[in-house]
Amino acid sequence: MNEDRRIREAFDRELEPPSPGFSSRMRSALVAPPPARAPRRWPFGAAAGAIAVLVVAALTLPHLFAGARTPAPAEQPGVVPWADLPAPNVAQPFTKPGVPACHASQLTFDVHVPDPSYIGAGPKDTTFWDVRVTNSSAVECFVGPMLDIVFTTADGPLQLKRQEWPGDIVYLQTGLWAGGEISAASCVEPRITRMTISPGKGLGSVDVDPGPAGGWGTPCPDRSGTYFVELFTDAGQGGALPSTETAMQAPASARPGEHVRFLVSISDVSQVSRGFGPPRPSPTPSPIVWSTCPTYHMELEGIEGTFHTYRLNCAAASTIAPNGTETFEMFIDVPGNAHPGPATLVWSIDGSPEQWARATAYVPIES
């Protein structure tokens, strides 16, 4: 593909144009952040652990690349251009050196309802199962926060599209497992006779008979729809609720050697506590002034060599008024020797978890 064609295709697909000088390096469009997951509507054995993991991961996990090149200033209203302002590492990489993504042949998949009483009962207009993924091989490997699944009935496969969830990758030593949930909402799917489950593109698949699903309600009117999968460990404790919100726009996938552009938006908003008990309103937010310029770290979890820390481009940023938002341009390099598999792009300001929220996006590496 020649350079002019690459430029045209990149601009045709992007939501916003990149900084001048980098258009030829863009491969895929920026996409909207994954839809927020609705809270569980039924008792679920791992629910408390899942909530705790998500909170702690959002607040404590460290997480781009020292070799990123300096782009020209972005000519985009409302977007602060990226600047090459390296800073000492405060956090540490999440990725373990030398640990590959799990192949399906290394894993054992156990899919079942959490309790037989949920069959034909439980949450209305929902089809769901528990899932446990165990590393049955002799070497450590990791799985992503989601699974690719083809659902098959007696009449053939359903056309269900996966909803994205930007959780962390999960490392599994021999015999250890990741737990989670598989669900399809809004209606009740016909009896699923087979699930073809894969940990990611190019990593193989395994056929599983999930047995009857939990849930009841209105049968689905056709064979299309969506499904949701989340995997997590049972580690972690609760944490503080940040006084800001952070959202990310990132590509749906990336390739080895690619220079990936993404956007991070920080919002100064009032929030309420999401812990157990009655909600407690937060104080009216104060403006965010960049007089003390913070550092941030980034990483593609699962891909070695992608962790690095930079200082935010505060000189080009505006004060964020209460309930306002500022958007920052970011870049990350995927090493040329990166192997295809699950990866989660993580971005976080180095600072108090009571103030700063991190942002994540599932960005698997494809060959």
Query: Is pLDDT of 15 > 60?
Result: no
3-state secondary structure of 162: strand
pTM of this structure? 0.75
Give the architecture (CATH level 2) of 104-232. Sandwich (2.60)
Give the architecture (CATH level 2) of 3-37+58-96+237-362. Sandwich (2.60)
**What are the pLDDT digits (tens) for 206-218?**
999 999 999 999 9
Query: Is pLDDT of 238 > 50?
Result: no
Query: Is pLDDT of 41 > 70?
Result: no
**Residue 349, token pair as written in the block:** 């300001």
Query: Residue 316, class by beta-carbon neighbours within 10 Å (0-12 exposed, 13-18 middle, 19+ buried)?
Result: middle
**Residue with more model confidence, 270 or 27:** 270
Rounded to whole angstroms, how far apart are CA atoms 209 and 168?
27
How do beta strands 194-198 and 215-216 pair? unpaired
CB 268, CB 287: distance < 8 Å: yes
Q: What is the mean pLDDT of the chain?
A: 79
Rounded to whole angstroms, how far apart are CA atoms 310 and 122?
48
Which residue spans of the chain are classified as CATH 2.60.40.10? 3-37+58-96+237-362
**What are the pLDDT digits (tens) for 74-110?**
457 889 999 999 999 989 999 999 999 999 999 999 9
Buried b / exposed e over 214-247, threshold 16 CB at 10 Å, is bbbeeebeeeebebbbbbbbeebeebebbbbebb
Rounded to whole angstroms, how far apart are CA atoms 328 and 290?
13
Tell me how far CA of residue 361 lies from CA of 26, 187, 298, 299, in angstroms: 17, 27, 12, 11
Confidence tier at 276 by pLDDT (50, 70, 90): very low
Helices (H) and strands (E) in the chain, counts: 2, 21
Percent of the chain topping pLDDT 90:
65
The radius of gyration of the chain from alpha carbons, rounded to an integer in Å, stands at 21
Greatest mean pLDDT among 36-45, 228-237, 239-248, 267-276: 239-248
Q: What is the pLDDT of residue 232?
A: 86
Q: What is the pLDDT of residue 5?
A: 42
Q: What is the pLDDT of residue 152?
A: 97
- Chain centroid to CA 106: 23
DSSP state of 243: S
